[in-house]
């Protein structure tokens, strides 16, 4: 009994220690993990695959470095998929750091051997239009005019001088919107304005903490697909065949989850045993 009472007053630092060990050790292990594909991620992948070459994809980077472990692998995978399928990518951000995350993702991709010989051309195959303040009102304005909302790209070049932007007026000239979101403004606002008001076709990648709020949009058909958190990143990587950090990090994630579940079981067991003893006495 004394053992369970001790468990009830266990120092929180002991739990932190075990969680830390569970996160760090898998980094040094070479163990494969089976990743099951969920229908939502499969639908997202299918939406990309259905786009004919030359289609215009609007990728919105609505996150910043703290959310990068979950969303950066998904951004890299989506960009690779677009470049390999010859889809034209227009990148924007409703978060100030978003366009810089886009450039980091491009840097990762272009450092690979595959792209050293045949790097996609800026302004023709892809463009980064930068950040625009105004949250959901930016989306609202894009419904009228994308060039008016983003008159210059990230480097300050007027959009009229960018070949990829020729003929793009509003969402009717965009074949698919892919939103990477870590909060507000993010997927909820894109669904409300771009999808429900301007009838854009859209898929999303979200941080895990936000994913439960967004799942109803998938089942209502407002989103074509959804990739939630690191698990979604690993699934997306498996489907595309580009194994990256999403897959690598999943082992640490799983180990940490096992530890958390074990502590929940231990804590509850200790609670019920000590409570039973209190009742009897």
Partner 1 sequence: MDSFFSHTLAAILTIGIISFLYKDNPLYKFCESLFIGVSAGYWFVQQYYANLLPKLFDNLGITRMLGAENVPEGALQKLFLHGEWSEDLLYLIAGILGVMMLLRLVSRIGWISRWPMAFIVGSISGLYFITYFQSNAMRQMQNTILPLNSFNNLVLIVGTVTGIIYFYFSKEHKGLFGAAARVGVYFLMVTFGASFGYTVMSRMSLLIGRVDFLFGTWLGLVK
Distance separating alpha carbons of residues 146 and 128, to the nearest angstrom: 13
Residues 106-125 that bind partner 1 (CB under 8 A): none
CB of 216 to partner 1, least distance (A): 6
Does 236 bind partner 1 (CB under 8 A)? Our answer is no
Q: By CB under 8 A, which span of 31-39, 111-119, 222-230, 265-273 interacts with partner 1?
A: 222-230
Asked if residue 214 lies in contact with residue 208, where contact means CB atoms within 8 angstroms, the answer is: no
Does 178 bind partner 1 (CB under 8 A)? Our answer is no
DSSP per residue over 41-61, as a string? HHHHHHHHHHSPTT-EEEEEE
Alpha helix (H) ranges present in the chain?
2-8, 12-24, 39-50, 68-84, 98-110, 113-117, 136-142, 146-149, 187-190, 211-219, 229-240, 245-280
Which of 43, 252, 263, 267 binds partner 1 (CB under 8 A)? It is: 252
What angle in degrees, to the nearest 10, is found between the helix axes of 39-50 and 68-84? 30
Does 253 bind partner 1 (CB under 8 A)? Our answer is yes
Which of 229, 238, 244, 247 binds partner 1 (CB under 8 A)? It is: 229
Within 10 angstroms of residue 248's Cβ, the number of other Cβ atoms is 16
Residue with smaller CB distance to partner 1, 51 or 146? 146
C-alpha of 86 from chain center: 21
Does 193 bind partner 1 (CB under 8 A)? Our answer is yes
Does 132 bind partner 1 (CB under 8 A)? Our answer is yes
SS3 185: coil
User: Who's near 77: CB < 8 A, 6+ residues apart?
Assistant: 233, 236, 237, 240, 242, 244, 246
Which of 8, 10, 24, 49 binds partner 1 (CB under 8 A)? It is: 24
Closest CA to 243 of 253, 233, 255, 256: 233
Residue with smaller CB distance to partner 1, 157 or 222? 222
Which of 45, 126, 131, 171 binds partner 1 (CB under 8 A)? It is: 131
Residue with smaller CB distance to partner 1, 163 or 216? 216
Which of 8, 37, 209, 258 binds partner 1 (CB under 8 A)? It is: 209
Residue with smaller CB distance to partner 1, 225 or 229? 229
Asked if residue 256 lies in contact with residue 19, where contact means CB atoms within 8 angstroms, the answer is: yes
Does 157 bind partner 1 (CB under 8 A)? Our answer is no
Distance separating alpha carbons of residues 242 and 106, to the nearest angstrom: 15
Q: By CB under 8 A, which span of 77-85, 121-129, 163-171, 251-259 interacts with partner 1?
A: 251-259
Does 154 bind partner 1 (CB under 8 A)? Our answer is no
Residue 112: exposure state from Cβ atoms within 10 A (0-12, 13-18, ≥19)? exposed
Q: Which residues bind partner 1 (CB under 8 A)?
A: 13, 16, 19, 23-24, 27-28, 66-70, 96, 131-133, 136, 140, 191-193, 195-197, 207-212, 216-217, 219-222, 228-231, 245, 249, 252-253, 256-257, 260
């Amino acid at each position: 009994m004394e053992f369970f009472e001790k468990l009830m007053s266990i120092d929180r630092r002991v739990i932190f220690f075990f969680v830390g060990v569970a996160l760090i050790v898998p980094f040094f292990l070479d163990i494969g993990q089976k990743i099951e594909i969920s229908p939502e991620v499969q639908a997202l992948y299918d939406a990309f695959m259905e786009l004919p070459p030359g289609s215009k994809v609007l990728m919105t980077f609505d996150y910043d470095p703290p959310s990068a472990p979950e969303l950066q692998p998904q951004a890299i995978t989506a960009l690779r998929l677009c470049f390999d399928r010859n889809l034209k990518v227009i990148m924007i951000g409703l978060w100030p750091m978003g366009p810089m995350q886009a450039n980091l993702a491009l840097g990762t991709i272009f450092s690979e051997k595959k792209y050293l010989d045949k790097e996609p051309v800026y302004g023709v195959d892809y463009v980064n239009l930068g950040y625009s303040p105004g949250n959901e009102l930016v989306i609202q304005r894009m419904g009228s005019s994308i060039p008016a909302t983003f008159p210059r790209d990230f480097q300050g070049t007027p959009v009229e001088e960018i070949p990829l932007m020729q003929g793009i007026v509003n969402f009717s000239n965009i074949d698919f919107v892919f939103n990477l979101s870590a909060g507000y403004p993010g997927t909820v606002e894109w669904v409300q304005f771009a999808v429900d008001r301007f009838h854009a076709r859209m898929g999303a990648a979200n941080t895990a903490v936000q994913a439960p709020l967004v799942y109803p949009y998938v089942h209502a058909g407002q989103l074509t697909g959804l990739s939630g958190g690191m698990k979604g990143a690993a699934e997306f990587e498996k489907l595309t065949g580009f194994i990256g950090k999403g897959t690598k990090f999943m082992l640490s994630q799983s180990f940490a989850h096992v530890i958390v579940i074990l502590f929940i079981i231990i804590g509850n067991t200790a609670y019920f045993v000590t409570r039973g003893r209190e009742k009897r006495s």
